[in-house]
Structure 1
Amino acid sequence: MSKPKDNNPSQGGLIRLTARCTAADCAGKLGPADLSAVLARLDLPSHPDLLVGISTGDDAGVLRLSDDLAIVNTIDFFTPVVDDPFTYGQISAAGALSGVYAMGGLPRTALNIVCWPQTGLPNEMLAEILRGAAEKAREAGVVIVGGHTVANENEEVKFGMAVTGVIDPHRIVRNVGARAGDALVLTKALGTGILMTAFKRDHLTDEPYQAAVRSMTQLNAAAASAMLKYDVHAATAIMGFGLVGHALKMAEGSAVTIVFEESDLPLLPGVLEQCRAGMIPGGGQRNREYYAPSVRISDEVSDEIAAIAFDPQTSGGLLIAIPDQQSLALLAELHNCGHRDAAIVGRVTPRREHPIELV
C-alpha cells in the first residue's frame, strides 16, 4: 500500500520521526496495570482546596483559589504519531489541552516539554514542532509562557505541554457522576491508535491518514463549550486507555454500568480494515489485558469492534453523560460546531455485574 507523505518541506520528507520510537504516542504510555501498581504505593494528596485530585483518575487536577475561581492543571506528552514535525506539534498541543476542556475549564497558559536527541535530527525540525504547537495554542487562546528541554542519549523524540486553565469551582465537570438513564455522547470517531500503527508500518493510504490527522488536530474547545449548555452529569477525554478504560473510571466512580452499542460507535475511515490486518498497537493489547475482567462483550460483537473499544486514542474526543432527553439537542449542536462524527454511543444503567458492557 502506498504511504501518505507528510508535508515536511524543510526535510523533503526524508526523516521519519515515527521510525525513532518503539511505540507511537498514547500506545507507548505506561500500561494501566503498571500505573495502578505504582499509584497504590503512594498516599493520595490532600488539601482543603484540592477539589479534584487523582482518586478517580480524572482528566486534570483542580485547586480552589477563591469562592469563584479555581485553577485546572494537566499535562500530556508523547512520542510522534506522524512524521511531519509541524503536524506532530499540533496534535500534541490539542491532546494536552483536552484535559482542561473535559473538566469544563478554559485553558489559559502552557509550558512546552521537549525530549530531543543529542544527535541525528536538525534543530529546524524541533522549531517546526514548536511552531505547530504554538499555532494550535493560539487557536485555543492559550499563551505559551515557556518550557523545559532534555537532551536524550537515545533517538526517541517526545513533546507535549503542561497546561493551566481556570474554572468556576461550582461548575466542575468530573469523570464521575453519571446517572442511570443518561445517554452517552462521544464527540470524535475512534481508531487513531490502530491507524497510526498502520502508518508507522507503511500500511496506510492517504484518505484514512488525513482523516485521522484532522481528528487528532481538532480541539475539543467547541465540544466543551457545547456540553456546558446542558445538564452534563459527567465527562472525560478518551485518550491512552481507550474508550473502555476511560469509561470504566466513569462507571466505577459513579457506581453504574455503562453500555456501549456496537453499531453506534463512530469509526474513522479504514480502521476496520487495518484492524483485520493486525495493526493493533501494544497499548491496545495492554488495555485489553487489564480491563477485560470488568467488561462483558456480547457474543454478537465483532472481534474488530472489541479491539477498537480498547484502542489507545491520540487527542480523542469527549465522552459525555447527559440526561437522555437532552442528548439529541447536544448532538445537533456538536454537529453544527464541527464535530461531524459525534454520536450517541450508549446508555447508563443501574450497576450490574460488569461496569462496562459492549453489546
Structure 2
Amino acid sequence: RLEVVSKFMAGFHAGAKFADVEVRGGQTVECPWMMLGGVGTAVVPADALSTLNGAIPGDVLVLTKPLGVRAAVNAHQWLHKSPERLKYQSLSESSIRDAYSQACIQMASHNLVAATFLKEFNAHASTDVTGFGIIGHADNLAKAQNVPVHFIIDTFPMIPYTDIICKSFPNANGFNMFDGLAAETSGGLLIAFNPSDAPGYIEKLKEFGITAHIVGHVEKSPNNESDALLNPKGVKTIMDNGFALLHERPEL
C-alpha cells in the first residue's frame, strides 16, 4: 500500500509541475475508494482571460480530444471481470487494449497546450467535455452565450474501436454515445472560433502532437432559446488515434 500511495502522490505532483503549479498543503481522509484531487487557484490579468460567452452565429466548434474514454475503459474492465459482456463484440483483445491505451494517454494529458493558445487564435467561448458528454457540455456552453444560439454537433471524433464497442450493445448505442451523452474523463476542450481562426489553431496544436477537429457550428436561435443538438441530417464518426502524450512541459 505504501508503494502504491507514494507513486499515486508522485504522479499528482508531476502533473502539477507539468502545469507549472505548486502543490500546497492537503489532507487525508478515509474512503472506500482510492482518490486524489485538488483545487486550483490562480490570479491572472483580466486581459489574459479567454472569453466564455462570445460565440456568435457562423462560428465553428472545435474539439481537442476524441471521444470514447468510457467505452474504452469499460471494455478493458470486461476483459478481466465480465468476459461474458464481450461475447457480442467483434473486436479482438488486442483492439480493446489498443483503445484502452489511447484512453489512458488522453486521461493522462493536460489541456494545458490547448488552453494556452485560445487567446492567440481569438476563441469566442470554450469549456471542457467531461461527465455530461459532448452534447451536455455544449448545451451548458450555449446557454452561457450573450446572444441566443444553437450549437450544432455534426462530427464525433472517436478513439479507434470505441464506435464498435458502443454499436455492439442491444440498442446499438452503448453509454448513449451516439446521443452525445457518454461521459468522458479528462476530456478535451470544446471551443467556438471564427471559421478563419480555427484552421490556424488546429495546425498549432499539431506541433504538440494534438489532433483537434471541427465538430460543429453555431447557428442563430429562431426562438431566443440557446441549446445544443445533434445535426438532424446525421452525425459523422471519424477515428482518431493521433493523440500523443507529452512527457515534459513544452515551451509555450
The TM-score range, normalised by the shorter chain, is: 0.7 to 0.9
Give CA deviations for 1:205-261 in whole Å, capped at 9, x if unaligned: 321111111111111111111222121111101111111111111111212100111
| Correspondence for 1:218 among 95, 109, 116 | 109
CA distance in 2, matches of 1:338, 1:164: 28
| Greater relative contact order (CA < 8 Å, ≥ 6 in sequence) | 2
Query: Which residue in 1 is equivalent to 2:37?
Result: 160
Deviation of the 1:317 alpha carbon: 0.5
Q: Normalized against structure 1, the TM-score is what?
A: 0.55
CA distance in 1, matches of 2:44, 2:209: 24
Give CA deviations for 1:288-336 in whole Å, capped at 9, x if unaligned: xxxxxxxxxxxxxxxx522xx1111111111111111111111111122
Give CA deviations for 1:27-71 in whole Å, capped at 9, x if unaligned: xxxxxxxxxxxxxxxxxxxxxxxxxxxxxxxxxxxxxxxxxxxxx
| Correspondence for 1:348 among 218, 225, 235 | 218
CA distance in 1, matches of 2:59, 2:141: 12
Query: Which residue in 2 is equivalent to 1:256?
Result: 149
Query: Which residue in 1 is equivalent to 2:238?
Result: none
Query: Which residue in 1 is equivalent to 2:28?
Result: 149
- Look up the SS of the partner of 2:186 in the other structure: coil
* AA at the equivalent of 2:215: V
Query: Which residue in 2 is equivalent to 1:73?
Result: none
Deviation of the 1:150 alpha carbon: 0.6
- Residues 198 and 279 of structure 1 are in contact (CA less than 8 Å); yes or no, is this contact kept in structure 2? no
| Correspondence for 1:229 among 120, 125, 140 | 120
Matches within 5 A, 1:30-179: 122-152=1-31, 155-179=32-56
- Look up the SS of the partner of 1:138 in the other structure: helix
Query: Which residue in 1 is equivalent to 2:131?
Result: 240
Deviation of the 1:199 alpha carbon: 2.3
Query: Which residue in 2 is equivalent to 1:25?
Result: none
* AA at the equivalent of 1:194: A
CA distance in 2, matches of 1:248, 1:272: 23
Count of residue correspondences: 210
| Correspondence for 1:305 among 160, 178, 183 | 178
The CA RMSD over aligned residues, in Å, is 2.1
CA distance in 1, matches of 2:191, 2:120: 13
- Residues 184 and 346 of structure 1 are in contact (CA less than 8 Å); yes or no, is this contact kept in structure 2? yes
Matches within 5 A, 1:4-19: none
CA distance in 2, matches of 1:279, 1:192: 20
- Look up the SS of the partner of 1:162 in the other structure: coil
CA distance in 2, matches of 1:137, 1:252: 31
CA distance in 2, matches of 1:163, 1:123: 26
Pair 358,265 (structure 1): closer, same or farther in 2 beyond 3 Å: same
CA distance in 2, matches of 1:194, 1:348: 28
Deviation of the 1:352 alpha carbon: 4.0
CA distance in 2, matches of 1:144, 1:225: 21
Query: Which residue in 2 is equivalent to 1:207?
Result: 98
- Residues 258 and 355 of structure 1 are in contact (CA less than 8 Å); yes or no, is this contact kept in structure 2? yes
- Residues 50 and 118 of structure 2 are in contact (CA less than 8 Å); yes or no, is this contact kept in structure 1? no
- Look up the SS of the partner of 1:161 in the other structure: coil
Give CA deviations for 1:172-202 in whole Å, capped at 9, x if unaligned: 3344221111111111101112222222322
How much identity, in percent, do the aligned residues show? Answer: 29
Q: Where is the strand percentage greater, Structure 1 or Structure 2? A: 1
- Residues 53 and 125 of structure 2 are in contact (CA less than 8 Å); yes or no, is this contact kept in structure 1? yes
| Correspondence for 1:314 among 180, 185, 189 | 185
Give CA deviations for 1:72-102 in whole Å, capped at 9, x if unaligned: xxxxxxxxxxxxxxxxxxxxxxxxxxxxxxx
CA distance in 1, matches of 2:74, 2:54: 34
CA distance in 2, matches of 1:174, 1:191: 28
Q: Normalized against structure 2, the TM-score is what?
A: 0.77
Query: Which residue in 2 is equivalent to 1:328?
Result: 199
Query: Which residue in 1 is equivalent to 2:66?
Result: 189
CA distance in 2, matches of 1:233, 1:156: 39
CA distance in 1, matches of 2:140, 2:21: 28
- Residues 235 and 319 of structure 1 are in contact (CA less than 8 Å); yes or no, is this contact kept in structure 2? yes
